[in-house]
Each structure stands twice: as C-alpha cells, then as structure tokens.
Amino acid sequence: MDSRLDFLGSPIAAKLLKHILSAGKVVNDSALPAATQELVALRVSQINGCSVCVDMHTKEAAHRGETSVRLNLVAAWREATVFTDAERAALKLAEQGTRVADAAGGVTDEAWADAAKHYGEDQLAALVSLIAIMNTVNRLNIITQQPAGAYRPGRHG
C-alpha cells in the first residue's frame, strides 16, 4: 500500500508533524510510566484501527521489555490479570476518551476518579495529552493510509 501523503515532503504536513512530535516529547518526558504510555498508545490505536501506530507501539513496548503476554492482552485488558490497577485505570480512561461518540457523555466521573486514585495531576495531564495526541496521530495516519510493518524501534526518539 502506498501512502496518500508524504508528511516529510509537504511543508505544511512536516511542520504539523514537528509540533505533534514536540507535544509527544512532553508526555514522554513526564512522570507517567513509560510502560503505561505504550499500553495506552497501543490501546487507542487498536480502537481506531491505526495499523501503523499498532505496529510502532507494539514494537517500542517490546523493545523496552514489555512481555508478549501483556501486549497480546491489551485489547482484552478488562478480563486480563496481567495489568496493575493503575494501568487498568489508564486503559479505561483511554478507551472512554477515544470512544467519545460511542460513550454517552464521554469520560465518566467514575473513570476519572479511578485514574485520579493512581496518578497525580501532572501524570493525569500527561495521560490526557497522550490520549488526545494518539487520537490525532491515528486519524492522520488512517486518512493518509500510512503503511504499517516497517517500523524499527527507536526511530522516533
């Protein structure tokens, strides 16, 4: 599959990508655990059907030591026993924040309170930002049909 748009070949797309990557660096440099960041990025990308992001975040997480069992169970996190309560709260917030049109009212007070039990204000800010950034990147990749499968860990940071 060929992509519809070369992000680096378009001055506007390249500038946008630069700003999105800068926003992502703020999240990456935050106190939100790296493992949680990868799990959330993967789950948001699974929900949205962004194959290039699923490819990237699965490989990045594995490269950083994440187990194949946990990666394979992200889509079924509710029934899986391999995630911490904090990770489960982050995944719940990510799902509700991604499925805004499907979830009456968006993110529930219960999901927010559950996440707030496990994460401080700065970590919550990073988590919310990550969910928003991933939804943006997923849509850019899906609209432009970016191909998946060739990602190498460490390529974007």
pLDDT at 98 over 60: yes
Quote the CA–CA distance of 98 and 115 in Å, as a whole number. Answer: 15
Domain boundaries, the chain: 31-143
Contact 23, 133 (CB under 8 A): yes
pLDDT of residue 154: 77
pLDDT of residue 153: 87
Q: For 126-142, write each residue's pLDDT tens digit.
A: 999 999 999 999 999 99
Q: Give the mean pLDDT of 4-32.
A: 93
Quote the CA–CA distance of 43 and 41 in Å, as a whole number. Answer: 6
Q: Which CATH class is domain 31-143?
A: mainly alpha
Tell me which of 24-28, 39-43, 73-77, 98-102 is least confident.
98-102
Please tell me the pTM assigned to this model. 0.93
